Structure 1
Amino acid sequence: MNNSIIDPLQGDFPEVIEEYLEHGITKCIAFNRRGTLLAAGCNDGSCVIWDFETRGIAKELRDNECSSPITSICWSKCGNRIIVSAADKSLSLWDVMSGKRIKRRVLQQTPLLARLHPGSTKPSLCLACPLSCAPMIVDLNTENTIYLQVSVSEKPSGPNPASRNKCSDGSTSFTPTAACFSKYGNLVYVGNSKGEILVIDNKDGEVRAMVPISGGSVVKNIVFSRNGQYLLTNSNDRVIRIYENLLPPKDEVRALAELNENLSDLNGVEKLKAAGSKCLTLFREFQDAITKVHWKAPCFSGDGEWVVGGSASKGEHKIYIWDRAGHLVKILEGPKEALIDLAWHPVRPIVVSVSLSGIVYIWAKDYIENWSAFAPDFKEIEENEEYVEREDEFDLNTETDKVKGSDVNEDEDVDIETVEKDPAFSDSDMSEEELCYLPASPCRDVPEQEDRFLESSSKIGDSNNSGSPFSEEVVANGHMMSHASSPVEDDAVGTRIKRKRKPSEKVLELQAERVDKTSESSKSSRTKTKSLADESNGNGFYYKDLSDE
């Protein structure tokens, strides 16, 4: 999408459903860094990758050891690897180009979220957020695991240092904890059930700062913008909050160390809160003050100018879009199905959402054709008009219509090897090994369609052998259509078959006349063949003109 020709008055955000994708039952989606490939985790444990430009399936990743629903999917920075978490407590690392699984690790709890380390081209470190366990950093090569703290007053003591809440019956419940890497993966930001944001060094797992959230509600989602400048949190109080990151992106660990040294006169929680005030500052809050709706899968747009969140209400497929100033600019209403996941395209004004039935909807701008942008003298007319040409309109005037010489130096060498940096990405120089496209691979048909086609082929063979005009059938778009049935029998779209209609009396009369004519013609042909056989001398047939007969 050429951003220079987008009308700023229309807004750079999606408006209508442009298309939908369907392959099995989709549970979660994720774009690669350039937005050229879209990966989706399915209910049967497989992962399908679409070429987003052609909307065709480019690759399907299937593990024979996993048949459970996929809970999350994440691309590596260069797009050559994908990590998938599943409901069978497994983490799987895949090589995208070859389609082979690199590593598989089974955890003690079901991982709801898994994110690869963003600072490596071929990462093996991943951040996992299990269902009832503290977030952990897992090295898939060495299988080393670092459990992260979820509370300042609580040290990680094994696989279950999760945030605990006392229920009314006295039992202990576990609350899933949200976590994410910073832009370059040096720090981990954890949102706990006490309404706090913990800034943790992923090398040693130590808490370096803490930011309390107003209201103290459970943090359900936490995510950074692509440039690392803003942090988004989604809390249980139905408020989306945006924090501005005050740390330098590449030197954040050193900056935090200097902050802690300057705050040596403070101890414990007060020191961490003071350091947290120098790390994050509240920028904006988003909520629906009327309906008080809970939010599902909130995120930033590719450029960070827009914030999007899906409604978590059942039977409602609504997407809310705000600008960064806090104004609600658009509410997208989809089908009467719940929304379970969504993602904003990294470069273009496109949002992709997943419904509860597993269909992927693509939301895009509703562009209005403006031909004057290509021809300034173009004029639209409401109805056809007779054109009257000018007297000298098509006269050849060699003096005024001379072709101006081009200012381009044709002898100058053209550089076709250097790749210009994309201004939308601040680190395009690190994308030499980046995987943007995949060769399309053929995909087998649905087994139901294959069985129907084989059954149709067998019927054709039987009808050819019988020779009866009533049993002759033809194949139309892979489905059988009988001459004796209604002419509108199948719509040739998947397994959707239209209702068969009973022929009227007029149609039956026409079919009877056609059968009589067919029988008469066959009887006449047999009579002519017999006359030729009678006139034969036994050694062969001689020519006789039967046109007069």
Structure 2
Amino acid sequence: MNTTPIIDPLQGDFPEVIEEYLQHGCMKCISFNRRGTLLAAGCNDGSCVIWDFETRGIAKELRDNECSSPITSICWSKCGNRILASAADKSVSLWDVVSGNRIKRIVLQQTPLQVRLHPGSSPSLCLACPLSCAPIIVDLNTGSTTLLKVSVPEGSNGPAPASRNKCFDGTTSFTPTAACFSKYGKLVYLGNSKGEILVIDHKDGEVRAMIPISGGSVVKNIVFSRNGQYLLTNSNDRVIRIYENLLPLKDEVRALDDLNGRLSDLSGVEKLKAVGSKCLTLFREFQDAITKVHWKVPCFSGDGEWVVGGSASKGEHKIYVWDRAGHLVKILEGPKEALIDLAWHPVRPIVVSVSLNGIVYIWAKDYTESWSAFAPDFKELEENEEYVEREDEFDLNPDTEKIKGSDANEDEEVDILAVEKDPAFSDSDMSQEELCFLPATPIRDVAEQQEDKFIEISSKIVDSNNSGSPLSEEAGPNGHTSNNASSPVEDGAGGMRIKRKRKPSEKVLDLQDEKVKKPSKSSKASKSKSKSLVDQNNNGNGFHSDEISD
């Protein structure tokens, strides 16, 4: 139980405030690619949108005519060139990111709540966790499915009788079961409704180890840290637990075989528990000891040093941040909207969360400017001071100071496409074939587009109203003038009528005032011509006034 106070926020690098938000339709789930340069989001209309996270622009939109149901889960392949998405219509779709084409679509028997691609370089398998049955291994090439066991027999004489919340044969279950691949995808870690973690070899479907969870509550979420050293579980008892992985990452199957050989004197559940004690060990427990809040989505930070949990309470958008030692360091409070999904950036201290209204919020660290960081000899001044330069400060000494030439070869071609190896990734040797960026088209704000269009239309209306003088009118076939043909508002039955949807802005009103105050040259000419005609009529058909008086 966590009763320690919040520690000093300056001690850690974690998000603090909402930096920006993304909006495109109604988004439901999110996932970063391996480098964190692209963010994929599944929408309520069955489409998937890919954001360029550096420019915050839309790089690609994946849309399937056969799917109009909400996306329930989305994930990337390790190389970033594939995206797997599950929908509420029981379908699982694999997409090619570069071309935007759908590669495969498989319809399952149950609605998948979560899907995960195999962490291999060219995945052909995926793990699906349906709504009301056991997790499934799906072969994306053939479409075949394999159910995983969600429990083990209590005794050696056979399975115990099944109940509403328990499943022993892998065919019937009324509680969604959480599962995930290990770091290299050789094992599946499954959290069942009995409060147990099962370690399963997905190739033969056999349970290799079992780790009971204290309390025995239903496991809602289970996920590995990126380095594979820690496993996180979220249970119905409102506790987030962190387990340390004791198995070697690349030889975990061989290590399990060795453990089973050394424990050959045991059998059944006792043997599975004995092997499980050598696989995982409880490291920390996290919970809100005051409010006892349920957790919607927990996850690790990119480096595994921080743990975040999104509150499942309705009407609030709260994210709790702990360090791995168990100290609560920050509570992020967002808008009055329920939280449905979140993800931590793989490299940077950024958390992205999704609200119930379909808006994606980007939480980042609140940086303060430090002017002394620009140069080692830079000194901040409390107030303005007159600078007195040295006598020889700006003198050139060509004899003593020789300008060194550049060592760079100007004829050498510069590679701007290759991605440098990042030490934050253990297997960054695959960066050459990894997809990191997509061309993004900047999109202007909708409000700016509407205002520019309204200004253009208003200026046309003002010009048409001020150009009604006889000199600017065009004569019709009968010699009559017509100035209504050029007005965009007074078109005929076949024309388009413009409707003002909002009050003119101050910029539009100022533009109209300038048009009224500065009449056109044609208006001035027409007024002078009209005045001369009136003078002639008043003077008696062109005679001068002095002649009439005589």
TM-score where L is the length of structure 2: 0.79
Partner of residue 281, structure 2 = 281
**Relative to structure 1, is the Cα distance of residues 517 and 235 closer, same or farther in structure 2, using a 3 angstrom cutoff?**
same
Offset, 1:337: 1.2
Q: 464-473 or 176-185: which moved more?
A: 464-473
| Worse-matched range after superposition: 182-191 or 510-519 | 510-519
Contact 1:150/1:163 (<8 A) preserved: no
Q: 2:487 aligned with 1:488, yes or no?
A: no
Name the counterpart of 2:68.
67
Return the offset for 1:325.
0.8
Q: Which residue in 1 is equivalent to 2:541?
A: none
Question: Which SS does the other structure have where 1:183 is aligned?
Answer: coil
Distance in 2, matches of 1:489 and 1:396, equals 53
User: CA offsets, 1:324-377, max 9 Å, x none?
Assistant: 111111111111211111101111111111111111111111122222222122
Percent identity between matched residues is 76
Do the aligned partners of residues 516 and 409 (structure 1) sit closer, same or farther apart at CA in structure 2, a change above 3 Å counting?
Answer: closer
Partner residue in 2 for 1:40: 41
Q: Residue 358 and residue 388 in structure 1: after superposition, are their counterparts in 2 closer, same or farther (change >3 A)?
A: same
Q: 2:432 is paired with a residue of what secondary structure?
A: coil
What secondary structure, in the 3-state scheme, does the structure 1 residue paired with 2:524 have?
helix
Aligned twin of 1:232: 232
Q: Deviations over 1:48-98 (max 9, x none)?
A: 001111111100000111111111000001001000001111101100000
Structure 1 residue 163, shift from structure 2 partner: 7.6
Q: 1:159-193 CA deviation, whole Å, 9 max, x = no partner?
A: xx998329xxxxx9811100000011111011001
Contact 2:241 2:284 in 1 (8 A): yes
Cα shift at 1:403: 3.9
One-letter amino acid of the counterpart of residue 308, structure 1: V
Say if 1:50 and 1:56, in contact at 8 Å, map to a contact too. yes
Please say if 1:314 is aligned against 2:314.
yes
Change (3 A) 1:415 1:49: closer
Matched with 1:112 is 113
Task: Quote the residue 1:31 is aligned against.
Answer: 32
Unpaired runs of 5+ residues, structure 2, are 1-8, 156-160, 167-171, 470-482, 490-497, 535-550
Distance 2:418 2:505 in 1: 59
Are 1:524 and 2:527 counterparts? yes
Whether the 8 Å CA contact 1:294–1:313 is kept in 2: the answer is yes
Mapped partners of 2:413, 2:183: distance in 1:
36
For residue 158 of structure 2, what is the aligned residue in structure 1? none
CA distance in 1: counterparts of 2:419 and 2:525, whole angstroms: 73
* Cα 1:513/1:26, change in 2 over 3 Å: closer
The answer on whether the counterparts of 2:31 and 2:74 sit within 8 Å (CA) in structure 1 is yes
Structure 1 residues 486, 85: closer, same or farther in 2, change over 3 A?
A: closer
Deviation string, structure 1 residues 268-300 (Cα, Å, up to 9, x no partner): 111110110011111111111111111121111
Within a 5 Å distance, the mapping from 1:78-117 to structure 2 comes to 78-117=79-118
Inter-partner Cα distance in structure 2 for 1:13 and 1:297: 17
Q: Distance in 1 between matches of 2:67 and 2:264?
A: 51
Aligned residue in 1 for 2:259: 259
Q: Quick one: distance in 2 between partners of 1:27 and 1:335?
A: 17
For the residue of structure 2 that corresponds to 1:432, the secondary structure is helix
Give the Cα–Cα distance (whole angstroms) in 1 for the partners of residues 202 and 337 of structure 2.
Answer: 39
**C-alpha distance 338-395 of structure 1, shift in aligned 2 (>3 A):** same
Does the Cα contact within 8 Å between 2:419 and 2:431 map onto a contact in 1? Answer: no
Residues 162 and 174 of structure 1 are in contact (CA less than 8 Å); yes or no, is this contact kept in structure 2? no
Instruction: Indicate if the aligned counterparts of 2:343 and 2:351 stay in contact, CA closer than 8 A.
Output: yes
Aligned counterpart, 2:389: 389
Question: Which whole-Å CA distance do the structure 1 matches of 2:414 and 2:115 have between them?
Answer: 41
Structure 2 counterpart of 1:93, one-letter code: L
- The 1:341–1:261 alpha-carbon spacing in structure 2 relative to 1, beyond 3 Å, is same
Compared CA separation, residues 371 and 455, structure 1 to 2 (3 A): closer
Check whether the contact 1:117–1:185 (CA below 8 A) recurs between aligned residues: yes
| Larger Rg belongs to | 2
Secondary structure of residue in 2 paired with 1:309: strand
CA RMSD of aligned residues (A): 4.1
Whether the 8 Å contact between 2:199 and 2:208 is mirrored in structure 1 is yes
d(CA) in 1 for partners of 2:294, 2:300: 17
Shift of 1:441: 5.0
Distance 1:124 1:454, change over 3 A: farther
Contact 2:421–2:431 (Cα < 8 Å) also in 1: no
**Residue 401 of structure 2 aligns to which amino acid in structure 1?**
K
Count, aligned residues = 491
C-alpha spacing 1:95/1:464, structure 2 compared with 1 (3 Å): same
Tell me what 1:326 maps to: 326
Which letter maps to 2:61?
A: E
Give the Cα–Cα distance (whole angstroms) in 1 for the partners of residues 423 and 11 of structure 2. Answer: 23
SS of equivalent to 1:275: helix
**1:231 partner SS:** strand
Greater relative CO, 1 or 2 (CA 8 Å, sep 6+): 2
Shift of 1:120: 3.2
Evaluate the alpha carbon distance shift between residue 255 and residue 99 of structure 1 in structure 2; reply closer, same or farther with a 3 A threshold.
Answer: same
- Further displaced range: 294-303 or 409-418: 409-418
Q: Residues 473-484 of structure 1 correspond to what in structure 2 (within 5 A)?
A: none
User: Matches of residues 433-452 of structure 1 in structure 2 within 5 Å?
Assistant: 433-441=433-441
Matches of 2:412 and 2:53 in 1, distance apart? Answer: 34
Once residues 461 and 14 of structure 2 are traced to their aligned partners in structure 1, the CA distance between those partners, rounded to angstroms, is: 58
Residue 431 of structure 1 deviates from its aligned partner by 3.2
